[in-house]
Copies of this chain bind each other. A is one copy, B any other.
């Protein structure tokens, strides 16, 4: 089964969509296999992170913003906005695709793991994630 999940983002940060994935997995009827994701953008990415404490997500965001600041004089690709080139770099440093083993109809994530869309731009966006379950 292949489906597109759409995720609305409202500025930089992590947007969890583990529940949407679980619903898709349930509706697929697949009991054992793989759930594979690709985010169809180069200024947002995917990550599996701790979903217990929001402070960890905030630190992650702040740390990455300090590593890849806006307005770096190194950038020549600037006409799509100050947050565009940093977004491409952040996407390259994190994940564009993920593959999650499935067993007994469940995603084999660890206890504290959630699946996130990592938005690297400031404006509202609709992000598409292609999901293959099989």
**Chain A, 42-84, CB within 8 A of any chain B CB:** 42, 47-50, 53, 55-56, 58-60, 62-64, 66-68, 72, 74-77
Interface residue count for A (Cβ, 8 Å)? 58
Number of copies: 3
Give the distance in Å from the alpha carbon of A131 to the alpha carbon of B130 in the complex. 19
Q: Does A85 contact B (CB under 8 A)?
A: yes
Given A49-B88, A76-B55, A88-B49, the answer on whether A38 and B101 have CB atoms closer than 8 Å is yes
Q: Main SS of chain A's interface residues?
A: mixed
Q: Does A99 contact B (CB under 8 A)?
A: yes
Q: Mark A30-44, 1 if CB is under 8 A from B, else 0.
A: 001110101111100
